[in-house]
Amino acid sequence: MDFIDYYKVLGVEKQATEKEIKQAFRKLARKHHPDLNPDDKAAEKKFKEINEANEVLSNTENRKKYDKYGKDWQHAEQFEQNQAQQRSRSSNQQDFGAGGQGDPDFSDFFESMFGGARGTSGRTRQNMQFKGQDFQAQLELNLTEVYHANSQVLTVNGQKIRLTIPAGIENGQVIKIAGKGEKGANGGPSGDLYIKFIIVNTGKFKRDGNNLYATVDLDLYTAVLGGDITTDTFDGKVKLKVLPGTQNDTKVKLKGKGFPVYKSKSDYGDLILSFRIKIPSKLREDEVKLFQELKNLNENGK
């Protein structure tokens, strides 16, 4: 694997802060996004490099490994385990004379992974198998798209992946697709793909877990006298009875009219509606007179 300087890809210094890395990524991602550069292979390649660089440098642990091991950072754990095993074996040896060999440095270890080097015991390690690097990806969906199960086709590192997304998935939730990461070394297992979901909500319903919240405007006359209204739920309209004397910010719960529970076909949260009473403005003369009469009646009745 050729070495790619992720800092140069994002155009930041090695000492860049997390905030600077995030800002650089967002700026470049907008510039090279495939939607803005259709049929532009160079932009598509650049976009992949930007995402790859961000996935490494925006993760504190991965960044430390990258800074230390360079292009072989994803195999850091195997190297460190090998070092520990070598130290353990050395501590059990009785002869520590000049003829002994110390622990190999990490460059020798990584070389042995791909052939050519031999271990301290003389046993060739070129056929050692190692799991491939895990991939990280993000998928942005609208709230309406995750109310029902749906299928998506993702392109990750050049491979198309068909994904069925269960209804009710939450913002920030991460799912793993086994074996869809980088191919393993020397026939080792492939890494995994981790997809983080970003759920965008621009509608009138606000989601909190499996419950939905919305505000319903209620005219003064219906609030005072009561009556039937038709209001929206997430999947259609329902009739709702309003009690006489309903106060502003009165809340009504509609059971089972909320969001579907993740991976549960028949369970739903609740919909909580808050009434917002609209006071009439620009009254006609006869309306003002009637309100005045009501006021007088109320005062005289005290």
pLDDT tens-digit series, residues 94-132: 433 333 344 445 555 555 444 444 444 444 445 677 888
- The crossing angle, in degrees rounded to 10, of helices 60-69 and 41-57 is 100
The secondary structure of residue 100, as a DSSP letter, is: S
pLDDT of residue 144: 93
Assign 3 a pLDDT band (cuts: 50, 70, 90).
Answer: low
Q: Would you state the pLDDT for residue 34?
A: 77
Going by C-alpha positions, the residue among 40, 52, 296 that lies closest to residue 181 is 52
* Strand ranges inside 135-192, DSSP E: 135-142, 150-156, 159-165, 174-177
Please indicate whether residue 28 or residue 110 has the higher confidence score (pLDDT): 28
Torsion of CA 55, 58, 61, 66, to 10 degrees: 70
Q: What is the mean pLDDT of residues 268-283?
A: 93
Own/partner pairs, 36-42, CB within 8 angstroms, 24+ separation: none
Residue 36 has pLDDT above 90, yes or no: no
What pLDDT is stored for residue 181 in this prediction?
Answer: 87
Banded pLDDT at 295 (limits 50, 70, 90): confident
pTM flag (> 0.85):
no
Q: Which residues contact 78 (CB under 8 A, 6 or more apart)?
A: 113, 130
**What CA–CA distance (Å, rounded) separates 251 from 226?**
15
Give residue 89's pLDDT band: very low, low, confident or very high (50, 70, 90).
Answer: low
- Cβ contact 45:52 at 8 Å: no
- 196 in helix, strand or coil? strand
Instruction: Check whether 204 has a pLDDT greater than 60.
Output: yes
pLDDT tens for each residue of 237-274: 999 999 999 999 999 999 999 999 998 888 999 999 99
Strand-pair category, 271-278 with 211-219: parallel
Give the pLDDT confidence of 138-175 residue by residue, as tens digits.
899 999 999 999 898 888 878 888 889 999 999 999 99
Least confident of 50-59, 80-89, 118-127, 194-203: 118-127
Q: List own/partner pairs for 39-48 with CB under 8 A and 24 or more apart.
A: 48/157, 48/158
pLDDT at 93: 44
Q: Token match 């992974």: residue?
A: 113
Contacts 24+ apart (CB under 8 A), 163-166: 163/195, 165/141, 165/197, 166/262, 166/263
Give tens-digit pLDDT for 206-230: 999 999 999 999 999 999 999 999 9
- Per-residue model confidence (pLDDT) at position 134: 87
Q: Would you say residue 302 has pLDDT above 70?
A: no
Write out pLDDT tens, residues 52-65: 889 889 888 888 88
Confidence of residue 11 (pLDDT cuts 50, 70, 90): very high
What contacts 218, CB < 8 A, 6 or more positions away? Answer: 229, 242, 246, 275, 276, 277, 278
Q: What is the CB neighbour count within 10 angstroms for residue 21? A: 20
Q: How far, in whole angstroms, is CA 300 from its chain's centroid?
A: 63
